[in-house]
Amino acid sequence: MSYIVLARKYRPQNFAEVYAQDHVTKILQSAIASGRIAHAYLFSGPRGVGKTSLARIMAKSLNCEQGPTTQPCNKCTNCVEITSGVSPDVIEIDGASNTGVDDIRELQRELLYAASGAKYKIYIIDEVHMLSKNAFNALLKTLEEPPENVIFIFATTEPHKVLPTIISRCQRYDFKRIPVDAIVARLRDLCEQEGIKMDDESMYLIARKADGGLRDALSLMDQTISYCAEDISIEQVRQIFGMIPNQVYHDFMQMIKAHDSQNLIIELHNIFEEGTDLQEFIGNMLEYLRVVLLSKLGIKIKDISPDEMPLFEEVAQSFSQNDLLYIMSQLMQTKTDIRLSNNPYLLIEAMMIKLSRLDEINEISELIASLKSTGFSPGMMAAPMPGKSADTPTGIRHGDKASPLADKAADSSTAKAPLRHSKTHEQPEIKKLELSEDALRQNWDALASRIKKISKVAGLAFQNAELINLSANAMNLKLKTQTDIGMLKNNLERIEEILEDVFGQPLHINLELEQGEAPTKVDIVRKTIDDLKKENPELASFIDETEARLV
Ligand SMILES: [Zn+2]
């Protein structure tokens, strides 16, 4: 089969073929139909969504021998020349490679010559934000007094970098990222036209990887076809792009749920051995969990082929929302940490083991927090539990006359008793506190565990926070990671409600990130005396002579 470049073959040649940008094409068509042509247009939006294609279609619509028309013939000399990029009247400039003021001056000089035969002289400047500031200013002068019949069409992926004075002189059109399901629909059409067999999962994978750009999707398609010819399967596509199947992440999550750290590590080593990029591995797992979380929230996701949805829904059902958030926060942290680490494998292993003990960590930290909140010291651990007192083997409590009424009173008092170890994790009581740093510090963990009732992760973040100081109406906290800050911010109102309840007055929380670098990790190298001797021969002879020993 001859090699086809889909991205070129299917480049849109008229308004109708510009895909999924109807909000732009409709307005432009009606402007052309009614002869309201502006001097300058700005097309902004992500790469590969049709900005420069539409600029060329505009040029053809205006300069077609039958134009201005909303349906350029694509046959006349002007149209054909524009399509193949050789029209003397349609000049395409790449802002990325022509950024100097000289280039714009040359352009200004050239503007003195009128359009040769054609109706308009059209300048298409791609990636216009890349022009230097001086070039921008030169361009601005041209835009202030544009020569008759000259039209500028600027395209940019970063409109915020274009000078406001330029933008204000342009008609601006924002192109949209193309949704995954829309790209899939387009790929399906193309496959049919080209006689290519491709499964849904492959199309979804390519569409997701293209990240909203149809041109990228078509280039990825081209790559796939060059490897697999007309019959494309998901296994091949994954191999070509080095993608880890969602099934793998699904399995990881099931092993985390089952606390199966042994198989988790074995599976992880398989991934390592395949030479998978670790950043990508974690990044993809985060992407996977994003869909899991959305499905947990009941949000319909169009990025995933319906066949694959069970891989996400199953996991969504077996984890709580907070646990998912916690796992994601651990992944994000690890993703950052492995960049600086010289042993990223170890960090990922440690994280996975930690995740496989998720319930345990939560339960222990909650138990400790609830114990501390009541002033219960570890030494009291040996003391009998309320309600199971050794001196009331019959179940009759102190002062209890065994009357039903007394029983009730006793029950209600145990409900407020210092130590509770119930499975329902009732809210630990904190007495009303006076507003002081001491009181706050002493009851820190109790507060944290109360915050955990609204959000486990926020509670953990609070627990790890450091109190900088306390004023009459605010507490200032220092946090180690941006993730921790985010977790607290998301629940700030409710946390402040808790504080108000405890301190009897409104209290704001201010959060700041711990400045400077994370504590330097010192590699503890245990040197033996032989190492030292090898390193330094003089030292070696000294050691030998004195029979020195390493302390
Ligand atoms: Zn034409």
Q: CA 254 from chain center: how many Å?
A: 23
272, 347 in Cβ contact below 8 A?
Answer: no
Cα of 67 vs centre of ligand 1, distance in Å, is 7
128, 94 in Cβ contact below 8 A?
Answer: no
Cα of 89 vs centre of ligand 1, distance in Å, is 14
Cα of 252 vs centre of ligand 1, distance in Å, is 58
DSSP string covering 77-130: HHHHHHHTT--TTEEEEETTT--SHHHHHHHHHHHTSPPSSSS-EEEEEETGGG
Cα of 79 vs centre of ligand 1, distance in Å, is 4
- The three-state DSSP-derived secondary structure of 417-462 is CCCCCCCCCCCCCCCCCCCCHHHHHHCHHHHHHHHHHHCHHHHHHH
Structural domains of the chain ordered from first start: 21-174 (3.40.50.300), 180-241 (1.10.8.60), 246-356 (1.20.272.10), 358-378+430-520 (3.30.300.180), 522-551 (no CATH)
Cα of 301 vs centre of ligand 1, distance in Å, is 42
Cα of 145 vs centre of ligand 1, distance in Å, is 29
Whether the CA torsion 330, 332, 335, 340 is positive or negative: it is negative
Other Cβ atoms less than 10 A from the Cβ of 392: the count is: 14
Cα of 104 vs centre of ligand 1, distance in Å, is 29
Q: Please name the residues in contact with 162: beta carbons below 8 A apart, sequence gap of 6 or more.
A: 42, 128, 129, 154, 156
**77: which 2 tokens?**
């000399």
Q: Please name the residues in contact with 536: beta carbons below 8 A apart, sequence gap of 6 or more.
A: none
Rg (CA), the chain: 34
Cα of 57 vs centre of ligand 1, distance in Å, is 10
Cα of 125 vs centre of ligand 1, distance in Å, is 22
Cα of 61 vs centre of ligand 1, distance in Å, is 8
Output the CA angle 137-139-141, nearest 5 degrees.
75
Cα of 174 vs centre of ligand 1, distance in Å, is 27
Cα of 91 vs centre of ligand 1, distance in Å, is 17
Q: Give residue 272's pLDDT.
A: 84
Cα of 222 vs centre of ligand 1, distance in Å, is 30
CA distance 27 to 21: 11
Cα of 71 vs centre of ligand 1, distance in Å, is 9
Cα of 150 vs centre of ligand 1, distance in Å, is 19
Cα of 19 vs centre of ligand 1, distance in Å, is 21
Cα of 54 vs centre of ligand 1, distance in Å, is 15
Mean pLDDT by 10 residues, the chain (551 residues): 71 89 93 92 93 95 91 94 90 76 70 65 89 77 81 93 88 93 92 90 90 91 82 83 86 92 91 83 92 90 85 92 92 92 91 86 65 56 40 37 38 37 48 84 87 79 87 87 78 87 88 61 45 59 54 41
Q: Give residue 525's pLDDT.
A: 39
**105: which 2 tokens?**
């001056």
DSSP H or E run through 172:
strand 171-174
Cα of 38 vs centre of ligand 1, distance in Å, is 21
Cα of 485 vs centre of ligand 1, distance in Å, is 59
359, 425 in Cβ contact below 8 A?
Answer: no
Q: Please name the residues in contact with 241: beta carbons below 8 A apart, sequence gap of 6 or more.
A: 205, 209, 220
